[in-house]
Amino acid sequence: MKKNTTKKKSYQPVSGREFPRFSGIKTFFRLPIADMTEDFDIALFGTPYDGGVSYRPGARFAPALVRECSSLGRGFHMSRAMSLFEHVKAADIGDCSVVPIDQQQTYEKIETFANNLIKNNKKFISIGGDHSTTLPLLRSLAKKHGPLNFIHFDAHLDTYPAAWGCEYHHGAFARHAIEEGLVNPKAMMQIGIRGPLANGSDLDIVRKHKVKIFTVDDIRRKNIFDFVKTLPSFSGPTYISFDIDCLDPAYAPGTGTPVPGGLTTYETQQILRALKIKNLVGADIVEVSPPYDSSQITGLAAVDTLFELMCLMAEGIKK
């Protein structure tokens, strides 16, 4: 008979006291590498596809950068007083397989990957990839949960029309998510939106579906602590998609379509900390483009956001 010699995994990050943070094999938050069938709560994975960008490419390299920068990640959230990795078990399950020159095949692979995660009872956070990678994740989750509550951080609406005859680019995923019924537009909000737009009709879709939009002006008009009190709360299955370009290029230069006049990392931290979400079933961070980053500013912003997202997810998981 085969002896079971597997040691029970603790799902703790590698200690920086034992292995300094510049050493070791890079995984998200120095967490163990795991197979999605194992017994843990939150799966972190890369989705290194950027075939849907309309301007600067490079987001395919984001999972590697975020893994590297997350060596500096720590597990205790000060304002939540939460010891994240004692509260939940999280693991790096590697990257979703993609086909860099074929979006259709990539979409199928991402959706199947997410289906398997759901089958294995995992909540998940994807590190993209460009914003076109969010759509197959939403398709998978909506099959299980129905239309999701949807919180979308972005400088852009991403409800734009087809480009060069192609429907599924990174600036159109939110329109498809609404049109396919994957998200509930009445429980959808877009945060960090700012112009310029191609023309005024760009707003037609979000107006028609009554999507709640918080522009940078809306957020700055009050002080941030007063602003976050106006955020609605979310009780059903909820998804957060965080396009790093919601941040000002000063706070996230490494991205494909930067827009000046954006949020600060401090502001997005405060918003993420104030969100009341009972059941965050999935999330992603997209549009980090390492070739355009400087001094890992964008990589570190992504790591910080990843930490906030994991804490939000953990709040809905009973210890």
Judged by CB, which is closer to Mn ion: 67, or 156? 156
Structure tokens at 189: 């909000």
Q: Can you tell me the distance from the alpha carbon of 253 to that of 307, in angstroms, rounded to the nearest whole number?
A: 20
The secondary structure of residue 38, as a DSSP letter, is: S
Nearer to Mn ion, 139 or 170 (CB): 170
Identify residue 273 by its one-letter amino acid code: R
Q: Read out DSSP for 159-178?
A: ----BTTBS-STTSHHHHHH
CA distance 239 to 221: 27
Element (H, E) at 285: strand 276-286
Amino acid at position 135, single letter: L
- The residue (of 155 and 311) whose beta carbon lies closer to Mn ion is 155
> Residues in the site for Mn ion, rule: CB under 5 A?
131, 154-156, 158, 243, 245
Residue 257: phi, psi to the nearest 5?
-135, 75
How far, in Å, CA of 208 to CA of 206, rounded? Answer: 5
**Cβ closer to Mn ion: 22 or 164?**
164
CB of 288 to Mn ion, least distance (A): 11
**CB of residue 170 to Mn ion, shortest distance in Å:** 6
Residue closer to Mn ion by CB (options 191, 314) is 191
Q: Which is nearer to Mn ion, 27 or 106 (CB)?
A: 106
Name the minimum Å distance from CB 4 to Mn ion: 46
Residues in Cβ contact with 289 at an 8 Å cutoff, skipping those fewer than 6 apart: 50, 56, 57, 58, 59, 61, 62, 254, 255, 256, 298
Give me the least distance between CB of 98 and Mn ion, in Å please: 18
Q: How far is the CB of 256 from Mn ion (least distance, A)?
A: 8
Find the shortest distance in angstroms from Cβ 264 to Mn ion: 16
